[in-house]
Amino acid sequence: MAYLVLARKWRPQNFSDLIGQEHVGQTLANAIRSGRIHHAFLFTGARGVGKTSAARILAKALNCEQGLSEQPCNECPSCLEITSGQGMDVLEIDGASNTGVDDIRELRENIRYLPSRARFKIFIIDEVHMLSTNAFNALLKTLEEPPEHAKFIFATTEPHKIPVTILSRCQRFDFRKIPVQKVTQRLREIADAEALQISDRSLGLVARHGEGSMRDALSTLDQVIAFCGETIADDDVQALLGMVDRRLLLDTIEAILQHDSRRLLDLVRQVDQLGHSLRQFVQELVELLRGLIICKVVADPDDLLDLVDEELKELQKLAEAASLEDLQRIVTLLMKVQAELSNSPYPLLTLEMALVRIANLAPTQEIGALIRQLELLEKRLAGAPVSAAPVRGAKAESSPTGGVPPKKPEAPVATKPDSTDWQGLVEKVRQKRPLLGSLLEHGRPLAMAPPQVDIGYPKGSFMLVQLLEPENLQDLTTLAEAYFQQKIKLTFSAIEEEQQDAPPSLVETREARETDRMRRLREDAMQHPALKNVLEIFDGEIVKVIPTDKGFV
């Protein structure tokens, strides 16, 4: 007798056998029990999740010789013929091979005839989305007014390619990918029935390799049996499937969380020596870290993670040892590394350096705690006494609260200001004539020995021309005499740009002070641990430093 592959041998024969599609089986069984059976069904979902099997089970339930039942007997000639794909009144059509309008016209002609011996004539069209537009149009009329003896079951992996006019005339059932845990349980039942010696860990690897498809998982198990025989070792399964050992992945994440660079380098060396793809290794690390994050934010993560119980417990234990922010940082960096590995001339070195960098990241602090610290700092600064340097030419008084009292109306000044008080004179002019004060800021005080005051400006400059105008010169002289309380001879001299012995202007002094301040601000920022972490994580650079403390000196 010819060998029958596991996927066919263990094909579901009842709605209860549809692993992971209980919602479909229950709905169809209820419809049959109540007699509310639609004339057209659409089964959608990924490959190998049970669409065609469900179509055959539905066909058997409708045509079983024991009577219309949600549980076909699987023993009568009708059931046996449908199971073997040879039912006379159940036609299975490959939509990919019969795409033309002529094929559908032939089908329409066939529909007109009553079933030869069954209750219904059933048409199962697999990959129905492959039909041409004309073929769909030819099928539409039949779906609008189908004969009572005809039922249609369409199956597809791409429902978005089916015209909406067809979709609206079908009952749609979406088949889900089957969770790894359920696939593993089914594989265990089959392995025991086939007398296979295989561990749950290996079955988990086979199930995960199926990526939610029971058929793919059974095909993989067939391949494993062909390679290993009936006694199957874990190492053989792992080597055959090319998957990274879960223990190796878990150890790597543990080493990252423990900041153990030496252990990480040893683990990467093992991955390389075993011949695993480094990109695959990083991808599986990311998937495992996703599990850690889910364990961190969800109290009951079973439904969100395709893991067996043992692996789930290990992830939950690892998740307890890390903060959510740190796990998110690690995932972000690993995804970046995975992209870099594609084009790196030194992939092993790239991965080693990336993991070492990740392992040595400083732990993050909770944002709320940082904000509270900043608020406390602001309150402390707000409550600290504010020092204010006395303004030359005016008498500074202290208030009971330690601050500077409000400015009083101008009164006669009792003492003369310092004869060299160029900045005080400029401030006096700015209060009365802001435009002239702005011009004075750019001047260089060549002589400040009242009654002689001489200010220098670049030869031929706009500012010099403006200040030499008689009206402006007169106003400035009056303001200077009021400030110094004596007659003043105010002159403006032209100087060469390169003249080195001229003192700097107020603008130049302020810019130099600001430059030094910004330099110190940048140096302080560069030394801050939090900023170092940000730069390292995002591979960034400081473009601009904006001071938030205007009192910084």
Q: Residue 152's domain spans which residues?
A: 6-174
Please enumerate in sequence order all residues whose Cβ is within 8 A of that of 517, keeping only pairs 6 or more positions apart, or say none: 547, 552, 553
Q: Is 121 in the same domain as 66? A: yes
Alpha helices by DSSP H, 1-40: 6-9, 22-34
Distances (CA, A) of 380 to 53, 61, 368, 524: 72, 79, 19, 21
35 and 105 share one domain: yes
Do 16 and 110 belong to one domain? yes
298-312, 417-431, 468-482, 536-550: the lowest-pLDDT one = 536-550
Instruction: State whether 334 and 279 are in the same domain.
Output: yes
Helix (H, G, I), strand (E, B) or coil at 154: strand
Which pLDDT score, from 0 to 100, does residue 219 have?
Answer: 92
What dihedral angle (degrees, nearest 10) is formed by the CA atoms of 54, 58, 63, 68?
140
Residue finishing a domain among 149, 174, 199:
174
End residue of a domain, out of 174, 195, 222: 174
Q: How confident is the model at residue 386, as a pLDDT?
A: 40
Same domain, 166 and 32: yes
377 or 121, higher pLDDT: 121
Secondary structure, 3-state, 37-92: CCCEEEEECCCCCCHHHHHHHHHHHHHCCCCCCCCCCCCCHHHHHHHCCCCCCEEE
The yes-or-no verdict on residue 1 having pLDDT over 60 is: no
Burial of 543 by CB count in 10 Å (0-12 exposed, 13-18 middle, 19+ buried)?
A: exposed
- Rounded distance between C-alpha atoms, residue 250 and residue 236, angstroms: 20
- Stretch (H or E) spanning 552: none
Mean pLDDT value across residues 258-268: 90
Q: Where is the domain boundary, 156, 174, 192?
A: 174
pLDDT tier at 385, thresholds 50, 70, 90: very low
Q: Tokens for 88?
A: 């006379």
Residue 51 pLDDT level (bands cut at 50, 70, 90): very high
CATH number for the domain spanning 189: value is 1.10.8.60
> In this structure, what are the phi and psi dihedrals at residue 246, rounded to the nearest 5 degrees?
-60, -35
- Based on the fold, state whether residues 78 and 170 are members of the same structural domain: yes
Domain match, 189 and 159 both? no
**pLDDT tens digits, 314-337:** 888 888 888 888 888 888 899 988
Would you state the pLDDT for residue 389? Answer: 38
The pTM (predicted TM-score) of the whole model is: 0.56
pLDDT at 139: 83
Asked, for residue 385, whether it belongs to a domain, the answer is no
Computed over every residue of the chain, the mean pLDDT equals 81
Q: Render pLDDT for 491-517 as a digit per residue (tens, 0 to 9).
A: 988 887 666 677 888 888 877 777 777
Report, as an integer, the average pLDDT of 155-183.
Answer: 90
Most confident range (mean pLDDT) of 87-101, 152-166, 452-466, 531-545 is 152-166
Residues 58 and 158 both lie in one domain: yes
Asked if 54 and 153 sit in the same domain, the reply is: yes
DSSP 215-280: HHHHHHHHHHHHHH-SB--HHHHHHHHTPPPHHHHHHHHHHHHTT-HHHHHHHHHHHHHTT--HHH
In the chain, what percentage of residues exceed pLDDT 70?
Answer: 84
Same domain, 136 and 281: no
The answer to whether residue 369 is domain-embedded is no
| Strand segments (E) across 106-206 | 121-126, 150-156, 171-174
pLDDT tops 60 at residue 392: no
Strand order in the sheet with 452-458: 444-449, 452-458, 489-495
Average pLDDT over residues 376-394: 51
Q: Give the domain CATH number at 464.
A: 3.30.300.180
Confirm whether 492 is domain-assigned: yes
The reply to whether 39 and 138 lie within a common domain is: yes
- The string of pLDDT tens digits covering residues 214-257 is 999 999 999 999 988 888 888 888 778 866 777 888 889 999 98
pLDDT bucket at 421, cuts 50 / 70 / 90: confident
340 band by pLDDT with thresholds 50, 70 and 90 = confident
My answer on whether 499 and 429 are in the same domain is: yes
Average pLDDT over residues 158-181: 90
Would residue 370 count as lying in a domain? no
Average pLDDT over residues 195-214: 88
- Please, which residues have CB within 8 angstroms of residue 420's CB and are 6 or more apart in sequence? 448
Q: Which amino acid is at 243?
A: M
Note the pLDDT of residue 378. 65
How many domains does one find in the chain?
A: 5
Query: Does the structure show a pLDDT above 80 at 97?
Result: no
Asked if residues 151 and 62 have their Cβ atoms less than 8 Å apart, the reply is yes
Q: Which of 116-120, 152-156, 400-404, 429-433 has the highest mean pLDDT?
A: 152-156
